[in-house]
Amino acid sequence: MLILGIESSCDETGAAIIKDGRYLLSNVVASQAEIHDRYGGVVPEVASRQQLTTIIPVLEMALDQAGCGWDNIDAVAATYGPGLAGSLLVGLTVGKAIAMAYNLPFLGVNHLEAHIYANWLRETTEIDANASDDSDWEYQEGDPIYPLLCLVISGAHSELVLMRGHGQYELLGRTRDDAAGEAFDKVARILGLNYPGGPAIQKAAQHAQEELEQQGKSLTQALNAYRLPRSWLRGTYDFSFSGLKTAMLHLAEGAVGEQNAQHAHSTENTGKQVSQYTRMGVLAEQRGGTNIELLAASFQEAVVDVLAVKTRLASQEYHVKQVVLAGGVAANINLRTRLERELRPLHIRLQYPPIEFCTDNAAMIASAAFFHLLRGEQHGLDLDVEPGLSLPFSKK
């Protein structure tokens, strides 16, 4: 079954053609990150207007790359929430219009569910040689195995979710304030780094780590150059990142002050602010004006620490065979490495999508749609956008 997926929930416009929920025929994403970088974050009005101008060329490119025409498509799927109302409306309306024009089944997809289903995607068009028309499309070799723990970490959501089967979600914990991606974006802004903040912080942190390693310092030293608070919220699987963000604000003010002070050949007035939080102030000073990178490394480590430990604890309590990462922050290399280290001794498999399927894309929309269509579900063309949509959680 060939599904055309459409994604337009925020500042990426995506169209993809996926076979049987897993195999990639095409995946086109047009990002507006450069435009929003100017403002340090997404401007909703700009995002929706940009979606309008991009959607048709992106769709045409997706069909072209897959080498198929409208006649080959079996169903259309588009994100209907959560996200920015104006942006969602563009993709959803185009999806419904195509379904109506070609008389195809239509399915509205929950963007968060789609992030999870990015773990079912293969980067190939090759279909398993053993698969035949009557094979079990619910499970194919290489698919994640239930019960499954999902760490959903995107720009607006941070949730630990237990899945016992397709479409079955139990909420174990969620953020009480900022989402992990939101924290990365806000802290990048505080540090004067680019939008989106996640990749910018990862790059800055990587640079600091490499430099310190060259100086013979250990990685632990680099990752903990600044002592930052961690909100453990023990006894729950909830998260909180706002205290960490505030600590970063204070530290960054100090670091920027320190840079200015170094210019004036004096550290008198600002040194105190930094040393209040610094365990290895000497290390930071040796690096002169590049404290921002060390700050980025320490911040990233604080986020990774909490996410990894809580995920490990939940995976042990719920006896899962496998953990999957979902959402933009799942692209973070340090998080992936750390979680591998936490889970390997427990014989729990960690799976994450390739980087291009972690951030917003339409391939994951088509994948999630496939499993709904398998169950005979589809939506009417009166489906509206739901900007505040959450995963369809069942009661524990």
- Shortest distance (Å) from residue 360 CB to Zn ion: 4
Give CA–CA dist 231/184, Å, rounded: 16
Give CA–CA dist 82/203, Å, rounded: 29
**Residue 139 Ramachandran class (φ > 0 left, ψ -120 to 50 alpha, else beta):** beta
Instruction: Judge contact between 6 and 359, C-beta under 8 A.
Output: no
Among 87, 224, 311, 332, binds ligand KG4 (CB under 6 A): 332
Binding residue count for ligand KG4, defined by CB under 6 A? 20
Beta bridge partners, 161, equal 150, 171
Residue 184 binding ligand KG4, by CB under 6 A: yes
Give CA–CA dist 322/146, Å, rounded: 7
Residue 331 binding ligand KG4, by CB under 6 A: yes
Interface contacts to Zn ion, rule CB under 5 A: 154, 360
Residue 5 binding ligand KG4, by CB under 6 A: no
Return all residues near 1 (Cβ < 8 A) that are at least 6 apart. Answer: 19, 20, 21, 74, 75, 370, 373
- Which uninterrupted H or E stretch holds 6? strand 2-7
Residue 353 binding ligand KG4, by CB under 6 A: no
- Looking at the Cβ atoms of 41 and 167, the one nearer to ligand KG4 is 41
Beta bridge partners, 226, equal 278
Instruction: Judge contact between 146 and 137, C-beta under 8 A.
Output: no
- Shortest distance (Å) from residue 6 CB to ligand KG4: 15
Q: Tell me the two tokens of residue 377.
A: 């579900």
Among 187, 204, 329, 389, binds ligand KG4 (CB under 6 A): 329
Residue 202 binding ligand KG4, by CB under 6 A: yes
Residue 328 binding ligand KG4, by CB under 6 A: yes
Residue 80 binding ligand KG4, by CB under 6 A: no
Among 20, 238, 305, 360, binds ligand KG4 (CB under 6 A): 360
Q: Tell me the two tokens of residue 91.
A: 């993709």
- Shortest distance (Å) from residue 159 CB to ligand KG4: 12
Among 91, 108, 196, 254, binds ligand KG4 (CB under 6 A): 196
Instruction: Judge contact between 363 and 24, C-beta under 8 A.
Output: yes
Residue 91 binding ligand KG4, by CB under 6 A: no
- Which residues of the shown chain bind ligand KG4 in the complex (CB under 6 A)? 10, 115, 154-156, 181, 184-185, 196-199, 202, 327-329, 331-332, 359-360
